[in-house]
Amino acid sequence: MNRIHHCYCQSALWKRRVESELMPWALGGTTLEGPALEIGPGPGVTTNYLRTRVPSLTVLENDPGLAEKLAAKFRNTSVQVLEGDATSMPFESGTFRTVFCFTMLHHVSSPSLQDRVLAEALRVLAPGGTFLGTDSRTSFLMKLFHCFDTMVIVDPATLPQRLRRAGFTNEHIELSDGAFRFRATRSQKLH
pLDDT digits 0-9 by tens, 131-157: 999 988 665 555 555 545 666 788 999
Does the domain at residues 3-186 carry the CATH identifier 3.40.50.970? no
By CB atoms closer than 10 A (0-12, 13-18, 19+), residue 32 is: middle
| Contacts of residue 135, Cβ cutoff 8 Å, sequence gap at least 6 | 101, 103, 104, 105, 106, 153, 154, 156, 179, 180, 182
Q: What are the pLDDT digits (tens) for 106-123?
A: 778 899 999 999 999 999
By CB atoms closer than 10 A (0-12, 13-18, 19+), residue 35 is: middle
Q: What are the extents of the domains in the chain?
A: 3-186
Cα–Cα distance, 62 to 88 (Å, whole number): 11
Write down the pTM of the prediction.
Answer: 0.86
